[in-house]
Amino acid sequence: MNKVSSLILIGLLIAGMANAQPKGFSLVKNTDAFQSALSKANSTIQTVASDFIQIKNMSLLAEKVKSKGKFYFMKEDKVRIEYTQPFSYILVLNKGQVLVKDEQKTSKINTKNSKAMQSVNRIMVDCMRGTILTNPDFKAAVYENGSDYMIALLPTNVDMKKMFAGIEIYMTKKTYDVSRLVMKENGGDVTDMNFSNPKHNTPLHETLFKVK
């Protein structure tokens, strides 16, 4: 490699490092303190219920796809994502089992047969349990501004590298609630979920998470 090519490569690497830090955020250097505070905040939470609005940017479509719904979580590992507008679609994660139900059919998946599905399942659960920094499938960096934290995840697992270019998780500093989840796929599609009106420890019926 000649001197000019070396300088160009160094410049690209520096630019890439600069772009890795989100605008308006600075790097949190003491991640142990952040993890300790996050674990403490989540230790008292048994259930979470919130609204969400999702914006899907698809590389093959000019228009963005907007949908709304409800999100539910119950410790230790039960998640329900229920889309209500503009269509009905339900995704349930419960003890390694996945239920997908749309207006036409219902499908059941055992994540034990798919490492990729196991990883996606763990991402959702880790967000709610406050254990996202210990996920072995990603390298995590934590950033902050005046009101929020942002956890940037870069996949290290082979299966995750095939699916995601990166994932961003935004949390409010006041309560450590997840306020936004951005999933960037390798094909160029981006899923942006914004959560609102979170309610903690409200009674949730087990039937919400039924997979059988």
Of the pLDDT bands very low, low, confident and very high (cuts 50, 70, 90), residue 12 is: very low
What's the rounded mean pLDDT across residues 127-134? 86
Tell me what pLDDT residue 75 has: 92
Give the C-alpha separation, 22 to 152, whole Å: 9
What's the rounded mean pLDDT across residues 99-122? 79
Which structure tokens are listed for 81? 């994502």
Examine residue 129 and state whether it is found in any structural domain, yes or no. yes
What's the rounded mean pLDDT across residues 34-55? 94
Of the pLDDT bands very low, low, confident and very high (cuts 50, 70, 90), residue 7 is: very low
Which structure tokens are listed for 117? 């599905």
Tell me what pLDDT residue 58 has: 87
Give the C-alpha separation, 72 to 205, whole Å: 10
Q: Flag whether pLDDT at 111 surpasses 80.
A: no
Tell me what pLDDT residue 151 has: 96
Of the pLDDT bands very low, low, confident and very high (cuts 50, 70, 90), residue 128 is: confident
Give the C-alpha separation, 61 to 57, whole Å: 8
Q: How many domains does the chain have?
A: 1
Examine residue 148 and state whether it is found in any structural domain, yes or no. yes
Q: Flag whether pLDDT at 206 surpasses 50.
A: yes
Examine residue 61 and state whether it is found in any structural domain, yes or no. yes
| CATH classification at residue 68 | 2.50.20.10
Q: Flag whether pLDDT at 187 surpasses 90.
A: no
Q: Flag whether pLDDT at 2 surpasses 80.
A: no
Helices (H) and strands (E) counted in the chain, each on its own, are: 4, 12
What's the rounded mean pLDDT across residues 117-123? 76
Residue 78 sits at the vertex; the CA angle it makes with 75 and 79, to the nearest 5 degrees, is 120
Q: What share of the chain is helix, strand, coil (3-state, %, to 5)?
A: 30, 40, 30
Tell me what pLDDT residue 110 has: 79
Which residue range forms the structural domain that includes residue 48?
A: 24-209
Examine residue 71 and state whether it is found in any structural domain, yes or no. yes
Give the distance from CA 16 to its chain's centroid: 23
What's the rounded mean pLDDT across residues 42-67? 91
Tell me what pLDDT residue 48 has: 96
